[in-house]
Amino acid sequence: MADIELLVRSKAVDLVASTARRTLQTDMGFASRLSLLQREDYWKIRVGCEAEAAAELARELAHKTKLFVNPNKHTCRIRIDGQFIEGAEDDGAEPGVRTVHALISFRDDEAAVLTAETLRSTLGYGEAVQSVTRGVWWSLGLVAPSDDAARRLAESIIVTKSVDEGLLVNPHSQEYSIV
């Protein structure tokens, strides 16, 4: 069993990320503390084979099925069991800026279930595909004096607790983890 992770990024300007960044900086007071905000579509496909076979399957899923990645407008990084086999850790933070990653997904995500069914039946992968998880992988560049402070700052940006606090997650419909 292995976990394939696909991180899919737009080649063009990501308007979702730029709108979120502008809202956080202009409307919510994070202008001096948030220097970078990027997002990637995130897919985790749990497959019933070992890492070596999973790597070949991952490349096929990413580059041949056209289900997750449209090469005209996307780039893709691939991880198997947490190790990149295509692309690399994306930590392009400026000096003095700490990067925090957060994975956000909807609870009860029917689209992920239907994607798993599509892989199994329509695309013929059968029981090799055990489950699919879908989410958004956010990368936050934060001006903070320590890793702990950066994590706390990330929480305050991510978790929507009130009209004044947080933006990226509504905890009543979404789950998140800070990586």
Partner 1 sequence: MSRPRVAVIQFPGSNCEHETATAVERAGMEAAIFRWNRDADELGGFDGFILPGGFSYQDRVRAGAIAAKKTIMRRIISAAADGAPVLGICNGAQVLVETGMIPGGAGRGGGGRPTGRIDMALAPNVMEGRSGFYCDWAHVRPSGRWRECAFLASLSADKPLPIPIAHGEGRFTTTDDSVASALGAEGRIVLQYCTAGGEVADGFPTNPNGSLAAAAGICNERGNVMALMPHPERVSFLRQVPDDLGDVWSERKVGARGDSAAMAGPGPGLALFESMRDYIRTRAGRA
Q: CB 160: neighbour CB atoms within 10 A?
A: 16
The only residue of 109, 130, 133, 144 in contact with partner 1, by rule CB under 8 A: 109
Which residue in 49, 123, 167, 178 binds partner 1 (CB under 8 A)?
Answer: 167
Mark 53-92 with x for binding to partner 1 (rule: CB under 8 A) and - for no binding: ----------------------------------------
Question: In 10 A of CB 86, how many CB atoms?
Answer: 17
Across the chain, which distance is largest between two alpha carbons, in Å? 51
Query: Is 138 in a helix, a strand, or coil?
Result: strand
The smaller minimum CB distance to partner 1, of residues 88 and 163, is found at: 163
Which residue in 114, 126, 152, 177 binds partner 1 (CB under 8 A)? 114
Query: Cα(85)–Cα(58) distance, rounded to whole angstroms?
Result: 9
- Strand partners for 174: 106
Would you say the C-alpha torsion 129, 134, 136, 137 has a positive or negative sign? negative
Provide the minimum distance between the beta carbon of 135 and partner 1 in the complex, in angstroms, as a whole number. 13
Closer residue to partner 1 in complex, CB, 94/117: 117
Q: CA–CA separation, 97 vs 43, rounded Å?
A: 27
By CB under 8 A, tell whether 31 contacts partner 1: no
Interaction site with partner 1 (CB under 8 A)? 15-16, 19-20, 23, 27-28, 106-111, 113-114, 160-164, 167-168, 170-174
